[in-house]
Amino acid sequence: MNKSYLETHPDENGYFGKFGGSFIPPMLERPFADIKNAYEELKNSPAFIEELKYVRKHYQGRPTPISFAKNLTQYCDGAKIYLKREDLNHTGAHKLNHCMAEVILAKYLGKTKVIAETGAGQHGVALATAAAYFGLECEIHMGEVDIVKEHPNVVRMKILGAKVIPATHGLKTLKEAVDSAFESYISQANEAIYCIGSVVGPHPFPMMVRDFQSVIGFESKEQFFEHEINLPDNVVACVGGGSNAMGIFSAFIEDNSVNLYGVEPLGRGEKIGDNAASLTFGTEGVMHGFNSIMLKDENGEPAPVYSIGSGIDYPSVGPEQAYLKEIGRTKIGLCTDEEAVDAFYKLSQLEGIIPALESAHAVAFAMKLAKTLSKDKTILINLSGRGDKDIDFVVDKYPIPNAKF
């Protein structure tokens, strides 16, 4: 029997075509090999699969539903728009899908601690939650700039029992948080594991996080039939590192009738430093231990990036996203800050769902796409998270449309 795409990608060394691999200091080779071996064992272990199913159903709130966005569909007057509701996960985003699994893996390896970076604080909160649930220590590295900007999530992490360590070098945001977390991990690899926040980093993380997130796609595939007796014609997800997008794409990669769209943040515009559209404007390069497509400055160093969505302002992107774009299986859409905010308010006022600013990028692109398609076509958006974390920031900068006082 032919092996499926997911079984054959990445290859043994963690490559998706030329992207991926593992570029790490020698002292990390052993701990990463341990993680890979543990994962290979666990993924076929009935006990592990049962435990993960149990926490997903009875703690996390899975399966998350698919909602038909009736009013948004009417407003766009084109293709039918559906939402996969990852905003309804405990802690408010898809991140718990991989955090719960990563912490079970840490336990299996006999570790007492998990270490990670966070940008907007969503991954930090999800990991702190999983660590509390399973009784492990949790250390989160976060840029000093983000610590100020994302204050509520810093407080949440602390309440959940995590230690938050500021990254004080460079731009003091996500990239520096990753640098800082890696450094700390090197000195604690005996008792801790690193739990990366997306489908990025050295092998096996891009594969492992994709597999843990693939529950989004496999649930969607079944649930969509309840609405349409068919596969969706188009699947749309925002891309930061690429985990929520890989999560929903993975079930549809071999269904060639399904168009897969990753949406990148165009921020304030096309100039370097004004966006974080790595797949659109980037070139091949190694950062944070893997080869992918990244945004570089004139010296070939990771470029400064910007987006209104703090969870998607990363200068590189998961290697599988780079691969799928290169082979033409996915298409890349763009969405500016302004369009994202418009979609944020549209979804709130037309559907009663306040989306995360990151997810609003996918909604904005899907709205543009819907308008170009006939009414018998369908679009499934992965609504990666809810927008509670963004409300103060948005209303402060962008007045509420049609506000009644």
Binder among 143, 206, 232, 241 for ligand PLP (CB under 6 A) = 241
Tell me if 10 contacts ligand PLP by CB under 6 A: no
Query: Which one among 14, 242, 265, 319 touches ligand PLP, defined by CB under 6 A?
Result: 242
How far apart (Å, rounded) are the C-alpha atoms in residues 207 and 210? 5
In whole angstroms, what is the distance from residue 339 CA to residue 359 CA?
12
**Which residue's CB comes closest to ligand PLP?**
385
- Please report the beta strands in 74-143, taking only residues with DSSP state E, as ranges in sequence order: 80-85, 113-118, 137-143
Distance in Å, CB of 313 to ligand PLP, minimum: 9
User: In the range 108-127, which residues lie near ligand PLP by CB under 6 A?
Assistant: 122
Of 63 and 121, the one with the shorter C-beta distance to ligand PLP is: 121
Q: Which of 209, 219, 210 is closest to 61 using CA atoms?
A: 219
In the complex with ligand PLP, the residue whose CB is nearer, 243 or 275, is: 243
The span from the CA of 50 to the CA of 61, in Å, is 16
Rounded to the nearest whole angstrom, what is the least distance from the CB of residue 65 to ligand PLP in the complex?
17
Inter-residue contact 43 to 211 (CB < 8 Å): yes
Q: From residue 381, give the alpha-carbon distance in Å to each of 99, 115, 161, 166, 238.
A: 22, 31, 34, 34, 9
Amino acid at 316: S
In this structure, which amino acid lies at residue 67? S
Nearer to ligand PLP, 66 or 189 (CB): 66
What is the footprint of ligand PLP within residues 369-388 (CB under 6 A)? 384-385
* Interaction of residue 311 with ligand PLP, rule CB under 6 A: yes
In the complex with ligand PLP, the residue whose CB is nearer, 78 or 292, is: 292
117 is catalytic: yes
User: Binding marks (x or -) toward ligand PLP, 218..237, rule CB under 6 A?
Assistant: --------------------
> Could you tell me which stretch among 1-9, 46-54, 227-235, 355-363 binds ligand PLP (CB under 6 A)?
355-363
Q: Is 198 a catalytic residue?
A: no
Instruction: Quote the CA–CA distance of 344 and 334 in Å, as a whole number.
Output: 16
Q: Which two tokens stand for residue 105?
A: 């893996």
**Closer of 9 and 94 to ligand PLP (Cβ):** 94
The pair of three-digit structure tokens given for residue 184, joined into one six-digit string: 């700390």
How do 163-167 and 137-143 pair as beta strands? parallel
Task: Give the pair of three-digit tokens for residue 148.
Answer: 């100020």
Rule CB under 6 A: choose which of 177, 239, 263, 340 binds ligand PLP. 239
Assigned token pair, 66: 């698919």
**Site map (CB under 6 A) of ligand PLP, residues 187-216, x = contact:** -----------x------------------
Residue 95 a catalytic site member: yes
Q: Which stretch binds ligand PLP (CB under 6 A): 133-141, 227-235, 242-250, 274-282?
A: 242-250
Distances (CA, A) of 137 to 103, 106, 162: 10, 11, 7
Cβ 113 to ligand PLP shortest distance, Å:
22
Task: Among 60, 180, 244, 275, indicate the residue that binds ligand PLP (CB under 6 A).
Answer: 244
Closest CB to ligand PLP among residues 217, 242: 242
ω before 46 within 30° of 0 (cis)?
no
- Give alpha helix (H) positions in 214-287: 215-228, 243-249, 278-281
Beta bridge partners of 267: 336
312 binds ligand PLP (CB under 6 A): yes
Which residue, 104 or 239, is less far from ligand PLP as judged by CB?
Answer: 239
Which candidate in 36, 84, 95, 389 is catalytic? 95
User: How many other C-beta atoms can be found within 10 angstroms of the C-beta atom of residue 271?
Assistant: 10
Is residue 243 a contact residue for ligand PLP (CB under 6 A)?
Answer: yes
Q: Which of 86, 102, 117, 219 is catalytic?
A: 117
| CB of 174 vs ligand PLP, minimal distance in Å | 10
| Gap between the Cα atoms of 292 and 318, Å rounded | 7
Query: Hey, which residues does 291 pair with through a beta bridge?
Result: 20, 286
Q: How many residues does the chain have?
A: 405
- Give the footprint of ligand PLP on this chain (CB under 6 A): 93, 95, 122, 198, 238-245, 311-312, 356, 358-359, 384-385
Question: Which residues have a catalytic role annotated?
Answer: 95, 117, 384
